Chains A and B, each alone.
Chain A
Amino acid sequence: MTDRFPGYDVLGKRHTPSWNDKTREVIDQRLAMRADAHRAFTDTQWLTLNALCERIVPQPADRAPAPLAAMIDEKVFEDRTDGYRDGRLPPLGEAWRRGLAGLDAEARTRHGRPFHDLSSAEQDGLLGAVQKGLADHPAWGDMPARLFFEKRAVHDIVAAYYAHPKAWNEIGFGGPAAPRGYVRLQADRRDPWEASEARPGRADQARRENARVGRS
């Protein structure tokens, strides 16, 4: 896929009026997360979790990935609940641990190998089956696999990714905005501190404009 916002880096705005001190503190912490840190999961669960994150949110090979598994690990370790739990699911940590065990057991039964050893296509096939409600290995226990997939796995991984500046760059989101907000609210108008989209024939212009977002 082509880069829709060439050269756009929301972090270039870090020292502009778009970022207040609190935002700098919070985002700095997120960027400092170690990708290999895990406290909530065993080494086996950790391998499965990393493989799962790579399939739910595949990241481009030409940059370091956002540390999604570590963000999930932190959420589970600190038991940062969402404020509700579907009555058919166990609590946050238990759901994750049982879900990862379920995926792995499902992989071993179907392919004779652990989940993280499967090819991407095999992993996607297995996840598709889980999403369709076709996973029934005893390792899931009384937790509906489809519900774990939708309400826990995809929910948490996707929320982690789109909270990361790397994802904001990919979608052209303006990112942090306080105390400075925005001035041009009309369609097809951008403030100089917003991402510029590479419409057909204007990739170079977009790249030039994106190089300036941190200087506006």
Chain B
Amino acid sequence: MSDAAEVPQATDGRAPDVMRVGGWIPMRQYADTEAVDFVIVGTGAGGGTLACKLAEHGFSVAALDAGPYWRPLEDFASDERHQAKLDWTDERIVDGDNPLVLGANNSGKAVGGSTVHFAMVSLRFRPEWFKARSQLGYGADWPIDWREMWRYYREVEQALKISGPVTYPWGPKRPAYPYRPHEMNAAALVLARGAEALGIKWIPTPLATVSAPRGLAHPCVYRGMCVIGCATNAKQSVLVTWLPRALAAGAEIRDLAMVGRIEHDDAGRVTGVHYHRDGAWRFQRARNVVVAGYAIETPRLLLSSASNLFPDGLANASGLVGKNLMVQSNQAVWGVMDEEIRCYKGPPSLSITEHWNYEDKGKDFFGGYCYMSQGVLPVTWAGIQAGARGLWGQALIDEMTRYNHQVGLKMVGECLPQERNQVTLTEETDQYGLRIPRVTYAYCDNDKRMIRHALGFMRQNLVAGGGKEIFEETDDTCHMNGTARMGDSPRDSVVSADCRSWDIPNLWICDGSIFPTVGGVNPSLTIQAIACRTADRIKAMAGRGEL
């Protein structure tokens, strides 16, 4: 494995230039003893975006990530097994009625976070979801108005040069996407054909991979390995978008820097973070700490930082840190076609319908879901055949030879917040000596009704599109949110609308864990929009002397 996995790369006043083989770009650095305005834990969709925006607003920023600083052009192989190096594969215990599968599709351990291997699906929330409790009767309200989010969605779509359809058939009017939609592959056209037969709308999926040249990146070459890391830099990950901007604006990024504990003073204000890098524990002083480790590592760090003053962990007066973990249900229907589909070509989800996110009639459940066409690489596909169908031996070998004919539709469904679904700490410790998290999950009855509805409807769509020999994959999940929810009051939330801890005014949380509800779309665009908003709010508060 490359040195980047073992040796910090962003040192000596320079950081890897992700756009050039062997390249470097200058990087400002801060001493551990120098209190930076913001130390940010995590450089994914939340932390990486916020690091950029805060640095551009003139704050001093040090952003720490536990993972390596890769240069995709030289470090990424076209190989599922090798590219597992992008996943957070440290031990976590899973339990509950529906133990989650973690690692590959819902975590990342790299500078840029899981956006380095995300599927690039970039969708806005349905406006009513920001007031799900008061307008739709379930979950919880966000303390933010959708019109404000609409402006920040626009900012992120522009920053990532999202390629999308000319018109969007659901929800309020939105501006044109910066880049044209991608060509539809055969798998995407199966969804389209079936949707048209059923009389519902579909679109080419809005994606964060460029359909025209941008800077040094050429357009997407349809190699289809997006979820194991884009080796051509067409993908607009945090690694190649926000972070180069952050560096240019004076932020420092520290790779292979695992934060183990947040420190505070006797007055209860945080003072910096203890982090492990280059074989030693260090302490970075900071005026503000932002936790952006995603829905497992964020509560893990807050709980691990318990002290005499805060015996239940930091920012946890509400008792809600770690609670209300929400996944999105990711069930699928699969079939075979007479034609060769070769779904390994192109981004994995080139077409989508949000019909059941916006249509409430005929539902026996709260919430919504979208579903998308699917491309699956061989190891993942074999895992589905072995897992969902229990195939092994010659039966598996024979079935796998139909790989080029397989076709499928996969949902991203809105699971409801429940306090019993949570992240806690075990007594086992990891390689840093930190307590390993336990992730407990069970679907509620509403989740199960939604999944039944989706599987039934997706089956109709797949059959109408020409799929045969349909089978269901009933247990997959994706994305994780909600373990430090935002809200209007300290009683029932962890942070305010500004992602600021109610309990500790210079402690902030900015990632998917602040979601009160998850909606039926992939969360990365919303996480980045929230980060942009948070940076603007911090700038405004600083201007008023309210930090």
- Interface residues in chain A, defined as those with a beta carbon under 8 Å from any beta carbon in chain B: 1, 4, 18-23, 25-27, 30, 55-58, 80-88, 91, 124, 127, 131, 150, 154-155, 158-163, 167-168, 170-190, 194-195, 197
Residues of B within 8 A of A88 (CB): 95
Residues of A within 8 A of B33 (CB): none
CB-nearest residue of chain B to A75? B81
Report the bound CA distance from A132 to B240 in whole Å: 48
Residues of B within 8 A of A167 (CB): 378, 400
**Given A177-B224, A186-B186, A172:B404 Cβ within 8 A:** yes
Q: Of A158, A172, A194, which is within 8 A of B403 by CB?
A: A172
Residues of A within 8 A of B23 (CB): none
Contact B378–A80 (Cβ < 8 Å): no
Residues of B within 8 A of A171 (CB): 378, 400-401, 403-404
Contact B224–A81 (Cβ < 8 Å): no
7 pairs, A vs B, C-beta closer than 8 Å? A23-B77, A56-B392, A81-B91, A82-B104, A88-B95, A182-B222, A194-B342
CB of B221 closer than 8 Å to a CB of A: yes
Contact A185–B382 (Cβ < 8 Å): no
Contact B382–A159 (Cβ < 8 Å): yes
Residues of A within 8 A of B99 (CB): 84, 86-87
Q: Of B232, B381, B393, which is within 8 A of A178 by CB?
A: B232
Binds A, one of B324-332, B333-341, B517-525: B333-341
CB of B307 closer than 8 Å to a CB of A: no
10 smallest CB-CB distances across A and B, nearest first, come from A83-B103, A181-B221, A176-B78, A181-B223, A84-B102, A87-B95, A163-B81, A177-B223, A187-B186, A178-B231
**Given A56-B392, A171-B401, A171-B404, A20:B379 Cβ within 8 A:** no
Contact A174–B342 (Cβ < 8 Å): yes
Residues of A within 8 A of B242 (CB): none
Residues of A within 8 A of B103 (CB): 82-84
Report the bound CA distance from A23 to B83 in whole Å: 10
CB-nearest residue of chain A to B21? A21
Report the bound CA distance from A193 to B103 in whole Å: 32
Report the bound CA distance from A184 to B345 in whole Å: 9
CB of B387 closer than 8 Å to a CB of A: yes
CB-nearest residue of chain B to A196? B340
Output the least CB separation between B223 and chain A (Å). 3
Contact A172–B401 (Cβ < 8 Å): yes
Contact B79–A26 (Cβ < 8 Å): yes
CB of B236 closer than 8 Å to a CB of A: no
Residues of B within 8 A of A150 (CB): 387, 390
Q: Of B81, B84, B346, B382, which is within 8 A of A158 by CB?
A: B382
Contact B184–A185 (Cβ < 8 Å): yes
Residues of A within 8 A of B396 (CB): 56-57, 158
Q: Of A22, A30, A175, which is within 8 A of B75 by CB?
A: A22
Output the least CB separation between A162 and chain B (Å). 4
Output the least CB separation between B421 and chain A (Å). 15
Residues of B within 8 A of A21 (CB): 74
Contact A20–B77 (Cβ < 8 Å): yes
Residues of A within 8 A of B503 (CB): none
Contact B92–A161 (Cβ < 8 Å): no
Contact B387–A173 (Cβ < 8 Å): no
Residues of A within 8 A of B344 (CB): 173-174
Contact A23–B79 (Cβ < 8 Å): yes
Q: Of A26, A56, A183, which is within 8 A of B222 by CB?
A: A183
Contact A20–B78 (Cβ < 8 Å): yes
Q: Of B340, B387, B438, which is within 8 A of A188 by CB?
A: B340
Output the least CB separation between B396 and chain A (Å). 7
Q: Of B184, B379, B393, which is within 8 A of A55 by CB?
A: B393
**Given A178-B223, A179-B231, A170:B397 Cβ within 8 A:** yes
CB of B100 closer than 8 Å to a CB of A: yes
Residues of A within 8 A of B84 (CB): 80
Residues of A within 8 A of B387 (CB): 150, 155
Residues of A within 8 A of B345 (CB): 174, 181-182, 184-185
Contact B77–A84 (Cβ < 8 Å): no
Since A124-B393, A155-B387, A159-B379 are in contact, a sample of 14 more A-B pairs with Cβ atoms closer than 8 Å, ordered by chain A residue number, is A22-B76, A26-B82, A55-B392, A81-B89, A86-B94, A87-B93, A87-B94, A87-B438, A155-B386, A176-B79, A178-B223, A185-B346, A189-B340, A190-B340
Residues of B within 8 A of A86 (CB): 94-95, 99
Contact A131–B221 (Cβ < 8 Å): no
Contact A83–B92 (Cβ < 8 Å): yes
Residues of A within 8 A of B88 (CB): 83
Residues of A within 8 A of B79 (CB): 23, 26-27, 163, 176
Output the least CB separation between B126 and chain A (Å). 30
Residues of A within 8 A of B311 (CB): none
Q: Of A23, A84, A182, which is within 8 A of B78 by CB?
A: A23
CB of B87 closer than 8 Å to a CB of A: yes
CB of B225 closer than 8 Å to a CB of A: yes
Output the least CB separation between B419 and chain A (Å). 20
Give residues 369-386 of B contacting A (CB, 8 Å): 378-379, 381-383, 386
The interface centre, meaning the residue of B94, B392, B403 with most chain A CB atoms within 10 A of its CB, is B392
CB-nearest residue of chain B to A167? B378
Contact B78–A185 (Cβ < 8 Å): no
Output the least CB separation between A91 and chain B (Å). 7
**Given A19-B78, A83-B89, A83-B92, A162:B183 Cβ within 8 A:** no
Output the least CB separation between B181 and chain A (Å). 13
Report the bound CA distance from A18 to B57 in whole Å: 42
Residues of A within 8 A of B92 (CB): 83-85
Residues of A within 8 A of B221 (CB): 177-182
Residues of A within 8 A of B378 (CB): 162-163, 167-168, 171, 173
CB-nearest residue of chain A to B109? A83
Residues of B within 8 A of A173 (CB): 344, 378, 403-404
CB-nearest residue of chain A to B339? A187
CB-nearest residue of chain A to B404? A172
Residues of B within 8 A of A127 (CB): 392
**Given A83-B90, A163-B80, A181:B403 Cβ within 8 A:** no
Output the least CB separation between A72 and chain B (Å). 12
Give residues 294-331 of B contacting A (CB, 8 Å): none
Report the bound CA distance from A147 to B521 in whole Å: 32
Report the bound CA distance from A90 to B337 in whole Å: 41
Residues of A within 8 A of B390 (CB): 131, 150
Contact B94–A176 (Cβ < 8 Å): no
Residues of A within 8 A of B94 (CB): 84-87
The interface centre, meaning the residue of A83, A85, A180, A186 with most chain B CB atoms within 10 A of its CB, is A83
CB of B107 closer than 8 Å to a CB of A: yes
CB of B237 closer than 8 Å to a CB of A: no
Report the bound CA distance from A194 to B186 in whole Å: 15
Output the least CB separation between A183 and chain B (Å). 7
Output the least CB separation between B343 and chain A (Å). 10
